With several copies, the nearest count.
Chain A
C-alpha cells in the first residue's frame, strides 16, 4: 500500500540521518522542539493551558468539585487524570472509550504530578474522611505531531499553576489558588538501537513506538519512568538518558515557571 511505502521511506530517511548523528528537522539529538504555553484559555475551567510543542497541540483543563476522599487518605484531596485521544487529533485515533495508549498517557502524566507531590493535597481537605476537593485533570489532545506525552505533562502542570479552587461556587468560602509546590517535567526520548532522539516528532516516530520517558522534579529527583514499546534497552543508554532527561527538564521547568 502507498501509505506503508511512504512510511518506509520516512523511516529510512530518519535512520540514515541518525547514522550521521543528525535529525530530519535539523535539531540536535537532545533538543526539544519550540514550546509555547497559553495559560488560562478556558475561562469556564478552574485552570487551563494550551501547549504547542512544535506542531503538537494539547489543551488541558482543570475542573474541581467536592467529593469523598480515598479511605486510606482521609485528609487529602484527590487527583483524577484522564486523557482523550479524540479522532480530531490524528488520522489513527478512533472514537470510543480510552484505549491502552490514552490510559498509559494519562497514567504517566498523573504519576509525574502525584509522585513529585506537586500539589499539596492536605490543603485540599474540607472535612476529614468526608469531603475533600477532587481535581479533574482532563487532557485533550488536538494535534498529534509526536510526543503527546511531554506536551500533555507541560500542559497539565501549566494548567494546575493557574488553577483557582472554586470554593465560593460551593459555598465554601473564598476562591484561592491551588497550592502547587513543584513543577514535574517529563522528558521522552525515541530509542533507535543504541541511539536516541529527545522529543521525537511524528515523522521520527515512523521508526517505531519505542520510547523512554523520565520525569523529574525541581530537585532533579526522578519521580517516574516509563519504558513504552516493544524494544530492548541497554543499560548504557538508560544511564545516558537519565542525564539527558534531567538536563532537559531543567530548561523546560524554567519555561513553565516563566509562563505562569
Chain B
C-alpha cells in the first residue's frame, strides 16, 4: 500500500510541514552517549534518529589491510530493520554500500590520518529511524563523535541536502519532498574557523539547471552553518558541564 503523492508539495509559499524554503528541520544532538565507543553521538534531524560511534585509532586486522603511511578510515552506514516503513532485511544493500563509500571519503579528506600509520579509525553509524536525509544526519553525528573521540581533523564536517520541489529549491527535504520532488542534492562541507572551506561530499540526482545547482549550493551553505553551530554547542556543552576547562582545548576548528 504505497502512499500516493500529495497534490502539491508547496502550499501558499510554505512546505507541507509548515517550514520556510530555507528552514531546517528541528535538530537535537547529544555527545558521548555510548560507554564502549571511544567517541559517540546521538542525533535527531526531523524524524531521523541516528547514533554514531568512533573506535580508534586502533590496530588493523588482518595486517595486509594496514597502510604504513597513514590510518585507514572505515565508515559503516547501517539501517536498523525497523527504521523504515517496510522492514529492511539486515545487512548492507547496494544503497548503504554507496552511502558508506562516499561518507568515508568525505572523512578521509578531513581526518589527519598521517598521524596514525598502520592503524584504523572506525566510524559506525546506525540509523534507528530514517526519514529523508539520513546520510546527512549520519555525517553530522559522525563528525561530532570524532571530536568526542579526540580524533584530530582539519575542521568539522557538516552535511545537509537541498531538494527541488514543485520547481522551488528547499533546504533539508523531508520524506515527501525527497520522494516526489524533482531533484535531491546532498552536500557535506569542511568548516574551519567557522567558515566553509570546501566541499567534502556532493551528490545529486534529478533534473536541475546549472544555475539552480549554484543556488542549491548557496542554500546548503546557509543550512550547514546553522547545523555547525548546533554541533559546536553540543560539543561545548558536553565538555563544559563535565569538565569545565577543557572547552578551550577541544578546538574543533584546528
B124-152 interface with A by 8 A CB criterion: 124-126, 128-130
Contact partner of B207 among A59, A104, A223, A239, CB < 8 A? Answer: A223
| B230 at interface by CB-CB < 8 Å | no
How would you classify the secondary structure of chain B's contact residues: helix, strand, loop or mixed?
mixed
In the complex, chain B residues whose CB is within 8 Å of the CB of A171: 1
* A202-B2 Cα distance, complex, nearest whole Å: 44
In the complex, chain A residues whose CB is within 8 Å of the CB of B43: none
Contact partner of A88 among B51, B87, B90, B197, CB < 8 A? Answer: B51
* A254-B90 Cα distance, complex, nearest whole Å: 32
How would you classify the secondary structure of chain A's contact residues: helix, strand, loop or mixed?
mixed
In the complex, chain A residues whose CB is within 8 Å of the CB of B73: 230
Residue of B nearest to A168 (CB): B1
Chain A 7-51 interface 0/1 with B at a Cβ cutoff of 8 Å (1 = within):
000000000000000000000000000000000011111001000
| B241 at interface by CB-CB < 8 Å | no
Residue of A nearest to B107 (CB): A230
Question: Are A59 and B128 within 8 A (Cβ)?
Answer: yes
Question: Are B198 and A234 within 8 A (Cβ)?
Answer: yes
| A84 at interface by CB-CB < 8 Å | yes
Interface-side segment among A120-128, A138-146, A173-181: A138-146
| B6 at interface by CB-CB < 8 Å | no
Question: Are B105 and A103 within 8 A (Cβ)?
Answer: no
* A106-B214 Cα distance, complex, nearest whole Å: 27
Residue of B nearest to A82 (CB): B90
Q: Which residues of B contact A (CB under 8 A)?
A: 1-2, 33-37, 47, 49, 51-53, 55, 58, 73, 76, 78, 80-87, 90-92, 94-95, 97-98, 100-102, 104-110, 122, 124-126, 128-130, 183, 185, 190, 197-210, 213-214, 217
Q: Which residues of A contact B (CB under 8 A)?
A: 41-45, 48, 55, 57, 59, 61-63, 65, 71-72, 82, 84, 86-91, 95, 97-98, 100, 103-104, 106-107, 111, 114-116, 136, 138, 140, 142-145, 169-171, 202, 212, 217, 220-235, 238-239, 242-243, 246
Closest 10 CB pairs of A and B: A61-B82, A230-B108, A225-B204, A88-B124, A72-B2, A63-B87, A232-B198, A45-B82, A55-B35, A138-B81
* A221-B110 Cα distance, complex, nearest whole Å: 31
Question: Are A42 and B94 within 8 A (Cβ)?
Answer: no
Q: Which of B55, B58, B206 has the most CB of A within 10 A?
A: B206
Question: Are B129 and A43 within 8 A (Cβ)?
Answer: yes
Q: Which of B34, B36, B49, B73 has the most CB of A within 10 A?
A: B36
In the complex, how many angstroms separate the beta carbon of B93 from the nearest chain A beta carbon?
Answer: 9
Given contacts A86-B124, A89-B34, A232-B109, 6 further A-B contacts (CB under 8 A): A41-B128, A88-B53, A136-B87, A224-B205, A227-B202, A228-B101
Question: Are A221 and B35 within 8 A (Cβ)?
Answer: no
Contact partner of A140 among B101, B122, B125, B126, CB < 8 A? Answer: B126
* A63-B81 Cα distance, complex, nearest whole Å: 8
Question: Are B82 and A225 within 8 A (Cβ)?
Answer: no
Contacts A138-B82, A238-B199; is A225 near B185 (CB within 8 Å)?
A: yes
Question: Are B190 and A222 within 8 A (Cβ)?
Answer: no
Contacts A59-B80, A171-B1, A232-B109; is A143 near B34 (CB within 8 Å)?
A: yes
In the complex, chain A residues whose CB is within 8 Å of the CB of B106: 230
Contacts A202-B36, A221-B209, A229-B105; is A103 near B1 (CB within 8 Å)?
A: no
Question: Are B124 and A44 within 8 A (Cβ)?
Answer: no
Residue of B nearest to A106 (CB): B94
In the complex, chain B residues whose CB is within 8 Å of the CB of A103: 94, 97-98, 101
Contact partner of B202 among A111, A142, A233, CB < 8 A? Answer: A233
Residue of A nearest to B204 (CB): A225
Question: Are A104 and B204 within 8 A (Cβ)?
Answer: no
* A61-B49 Cα distance, complex, nearest whole Å: 13
In the complex, how many angstroms separate the beta carbon of B139 from the nearest chain A beta carbon?
Answer: 13
